[in-house]
Amino acid sequence: MSNRPIYLDNHATTPVDERVLNAMIPYFTEKFGNAASISHVYGWESEAAVKQTREILATAINAKPEEIVFTSGATEANNLAIKGVAEAYFSQGQHIVTVATEHKAVLDPCEYLRNMGFEITILPVQKDGLIDLELLKKSLRHDTVLVSVMAANNEIGVLQPLAEIGKICREKEIIFHTDAAQAVGKIPLDVEALNIDLMSLTGHKVYGPKGIGALYVRRRNPRVQLAAQQHGGGHERGMRSGTLYTPQIVGFGKAVEIAILEQETENQRIGELKARLWKQLSAVEGIYLNGHPQKRLAGNLSISVEGVDGAALSLGLQPIAAVSSGSACSSNNVAPSYVLTALGYPEKLAYATVRFGIGRFNTVEEIDTVAKHFITTVKSLRSSLVRI
């Protein structure tokens, strides 16, 4: 029996599904060819595998295979989308709109562009984590070239109103980008229905391998132009040079294929586990749900706890549960979560926050074990503070 803690940090990353791993293995060994070497069978095999994954990803979001550009992950995809638009449309405007609760992979490229002379409007969010659509409309200008709003928040799981945002952007002829790293395979995504022009995807949030992602780039109505951010061979329609990592691409495709196939049943099962966990935790006074109660990912439960020290709470949970206090990309930062402070949380409460990311391989027994330990830890910490 393993003495490792129960893994409930599936928004940080997910284990590779065995079915995904089995699909990848041949492309490390006998099918190891370079997809760009199309003069022999080794290259043909890899080229065919890459093509198949393009088709899988395109089908998953109702796009065309040729609109899928492979990257090393969602961070690179976000950088390519934001910087690529900024450079390509520089003559049309230097104003970009984004949101305070975006991932750092969006906020940091925007800050880089600000230092380069662009104007960046960072919209606040409401207490439930959703943006104010009227405020978005008011923020748009004649020189706005891009709006970037994530599909599903990585910390609090809130789902932004993509359809409404897309409609606003399309009417204003402004490019709409969404970071869908946490969303693909978990919620329905349709780039046509949602009027999305650029969409960032990644494999490791959906039981695929790390180090692989993609950017959807609209080719028609309107055709989106991007300035390449990585040069050296003209791969991926000239947008992203570099030898394609075929095993990772195959794994990415298989992971998304499985996720789409099982999306409905998995969301129901995971949603029931989340409800079970929340029912037990919410029975304790002073525990609050972060973000909109309904418009959120099925497996996300972000809570804040009154009357405890955040560091002590995290330490107390470690032997039993692997959970997060916020974004994995910012977890080494001693400052409180910028997402929670954007929601208006006081610093002390923002510190005492836990993000449960429930996933494919979690069980009822694990949920009950974690709930029991969590409640015991909270009561013990509160008791210690009272005695002091």
- If you count DSSP H runs as helices and E runs as strands, how many of each does the chain have, helices first? 11, 12
Pairing of strands 175-179, 144-148: parallel
List CB contacts of 355: < 8 A, sequence separation 6 or more. Answer: 9, 11, 155, 156, 300, 301, 302, 323, 324, 325, 326
The token pair that represents 387 in the structure block:
């005695």
Q: Is 329 a catalytic residue?
A: yes
List CB contacts of 15: < 8 A, sequence separation 6 or more. Answer: 7, 207, 361
Q: Residue 114, SS3? A: helix
In angstroms, the first-to-last Cα distance of the chain is 38
Distance CA 286, CA 233 (A): 57
Our CA angle for 242, 255, 58, nearest 5°, is 65
Judged by phi (left if over 0) then psi (alpha if -120 to 50, else beta), residue 350 lies in alpha
- In order, the DSSP letters of 154-181 are TTT-BBP-HHHHHHHHHHHT-EEEEE-T
Instruction: Considering the candidates 5, 329, 348, 373, report the single residue annotated as catalytic.
Output: 329
Q: What residues form DSSP beta bridges with 357?
A: 9, 300
The token pair that represents 133 in the structure block:
């659509």
Place of tokens 């995504």: 189
Which amino acid belongs to residue 38? I
List CB contacts of 133: < 8 A, sequence separation 6 or more. Answer: 161, 164, 165, 168
Q: Are the C-beta atoms of 248 and 209 separated by less than 8 Å?
A: yes
Question: Which residues does the annotation mark as catalytic?
Answer: 329
